Structure 1
């Protein structure tokens, strides 16, 4: 077995572990700081909305030796608007002009063909998007996001409980805010591809969170019938038990996305790859973080407010204090770790066989 596999097995058995719940205030503080930074970035810089949302035109030229900076000047002079120019992998240029009227697009294309030494202006492909269509896309995107959030809360409340639904919703909002804030700081264009990426990472973040919640639900059955573990203790064991799995799945998911972002978007200059890969990359990392450091600790905080859990905590702490005073270890039942019970059954069966023999 590899060292990572051995570590995962030991984490699952509870032999080693990190106190995520006990240090939750540190992670809450880090998340609040990152979230505030993202909100400030949004308020100050805003988002670089693509033409799908604000309307405009996109011109794709044939292969040219004209630099990006020079093409930007040409586009600005021809249209009278700010232009965003990208060099594509095949040597062509993608020129985006926001707020451009549909009637003026032919004139701008003709002037660009002249400035870029393109013999036939029809070789410059033009895509025109009206502002009203952009508004419809934005409205549908917000509607889809709202419906998704509502369905998530309803499903988790039914499948688990309302506290887990609330915690998952907070984690999803946390992931969304950080991802959108990064877009504001970096200045990447927000397109339909970005929206697709955001919805994708929300599903991935939810999946990672549900895995921990499912483990927590199983391990807390009959929790009040024992005096060895508090709810926070078992929540901590659930996180540690799925930690290596979460890390493995996140790394495996991030590697191809990193290829899209740094090779496809950076080296090849494919604009759409930038739009979708950045949201995926940031969102996947934020989703893995929130499922471990935000969602489950928040569930533990909410559950520990229940009278039954508070009473359980008092009994557990009292038992530990009494054992510590006597210099003894706590020998309560093996709640949350069924292996000793299985071993005991085997031992009793072995002794019975020996007596029968």
Structure 2
């Protein structure tokens, strides 16, 4: 049985390491395929906007005892009322049928009576509402404006906090990566986009940014110490940071997805289409994609953006020279990382014996004793009588 606590500890100290940085071309290729499919779905198949955006009439038939062939029944009733165009019918909850049509205008009463007769319910059990497209257009405009303001503020804050615009650019690319793939999944599978979905799209950007900032904060800590100690390349220090935050990112994502998955199950099986289902579906897709981008896209992209900086190049050359002097073959950035500095509790990270050059002394924890029993008080000499 896998001891996840031990695996997480080994990843943090550098005893084990997954080389995310060296395999960045693989992650880029995976993302490129996903983005290509997403764009294909968006531009070829198109987005399935809800009635709030396109406008039209909505009828809800309550108390339906027999929902067999409900789509055919709805189509027949709407056609008999004289309403032309596409008809979308779905079951909401246990005994309610939702019928969406083109704007019924003056045919609302005729459509309500036809639906009541077709489904065998009283006319009072059929409710009708007319939704104009201007409301959806207003929501879309405000959502786009909010997205632009959000991205501008995020760029400024990240550039000031991390003191480099390249981290801000990497974070923004990860955000756009998540947004495009999430919307593309909606297009490919024909999920309906409602105002609740728009709220979900904006929410996942905040979650993805939070996860990325946590990883970047550890990257900044490790790389700053790498420049100071000059014992580890920039890419190796960044890769160690991703390994150190990997378990935390996975745990956070799983904990966030479990309750959303429960809401999705209830929505699909019991509640049917509605605000709760639309919001939870967008959150589930976006959080999963956001976890991927924080681990596999943001940090490798940051390393690629900084790879040719003079300070980074000089650090890599210095580490290679030190490795050559120690008799070890220098590696560009795939070396097994040695944890640098101290973690937030003050304990120094210790490398495994396999990562040390031949003949080099093994680093020792700063609180470790050279020999003898640990934390044993000295005994006073026995007095002679």
| TM-score of the pair, normalised by structure 1 | 0.89
Structure 2 CA distance for aligned equivalents of residues 72 and 148 of structure 1: 43
Q: Helix, strand or coil for the counterpart of 2:213?
A: helix
Identify the residue that residue 122 of structure 2 maps to in structure 1. 119
Cα shift readout 1:34-93 (whole Å, capped 9, x = no counterpart): 100100111111011011111122221112114332234235514212122111222111
**Corresponding position of 1:138:** 140
1:335 alignment counterpart: 340
Q: Say if 2:197 is the partner of 1:194.
A: yes
Quick check: 2:323–2:329 contact (8 Å CA) kept in 1?
no
Q: Which residue of 2 aligns with 1:93?
A: 97
Q: 1:306 to 1:72 in 2, by over 3 A?
A: farther
C-alpha RMSD of matched pairs (Å): 2.8
1:151-209 residue CA offsets vs partner (Å, 9 max, x unmatched)? 11111111113111111100011001111011011111100110111111111111111
Cα shift readout 1:185-234 (whole Å, capped 9, x = no counterpart): 11111001101111111111111111101111122224323332111101
2:319 counterpart of 1:297: no
The answer to whether the Cα contact below 8 Å between 2:223 and 2:237 also exists between their aligned partners in 1 is yes
* 3-state SS, counterpart of residue 19 of structure 2: coil
Of 178, 183, 186 in structure 1, the residue corresponding to residue 181 of structure 2 is 178
Q: Rg larger in 1 or in 2?
A: 2
Contact 1:86 1:271 in 2 (8 A): no
- Of the structure 1 ranges 248-257 and 270-279, higher mean CA displacement relative to structure 2 is found in 270-279
Aligned pairs, how many? Answer: 350
CA contact (8 A) 1:75 1:83 kept: no
* More helix as a share of residues: 1
What's the offset of the Cα at 1:30? 0.4
Match of 1:69 in 2: 71
1:42 aligns with 2:30: no
Residue number in structure 2 paired with 1:82? 86
Correspondence 1:148 to 2:150: yes
Q: In 1, are the aligned partners of 2:39 and 2:180 still within 8 Å (CA)?
A: yes
Rounded to whole Å, the distance in 1 between the matches of 2:134 and 2:140 is: 10
CA apart distance, 1:244: 0.7
Instruction: Write the mapping of 1:336-351 to structure 2, written as runs, cut at 5 A.
Output: 336=341, 338-339=348-349, 343-344=365-366, 347=369
2:359 alignment counterpart: none
The answer as to whether partners of 2:219 and 2:237 remain within 8 angstroms in 1 is yes
In structure 2, the CA distance between the partners of 1:75 and 1:304, relative to structure 1 (3 Å rule), is farther
C-alpha distance 114-325 of structure 1, shift in aligned 2 (>3 A):
closer
Runs of 4+ with deviation above 6 angstroms: 348-351
Match of 2:283 in 1: 280
- 8 Å CA contact retained: 1:20, 1:236: yes
- CA 1:102–1:138 in 2, change beyond 3 Å: closer, same or farther? farther
Are residue 248 (structure 1) and residue 270 (structure 2) matched?
Answer: no
Deviation at 1:118, TM superposition (A): 2.9
Structure 1: where are the runs of 5+ without partners? none
**Matched residue of 2:59: which SS?**
strand
Q: What's the offset of the Cα at 1:346?
A: 5.1
Q: CA deviation at 1:334?
A: 6.6
Q: Distance in 2 between matches of 1:175 and 1:242?
A: 20
Q: Distance in 2 between matches of 1:264 and 1:182?
A: 19
Helix, strand or coil at the partner of 2:366 = helix
User: 263-272 or 241-250, which moves further after superposition?
Assistant: 263-272
Alpha-carbon displacement from aligned partner over 1:255-293 (angstroms, at most 9, x marks no partner): 111122233224542433332222111111100000000
Cα distance in structure 2, aligned partners of 1:117 and 1:324 = 87
Aligned position for 2:213: 210
Distance between the aligned counterparts of 1:326 and 1:129, measured in 2? 70
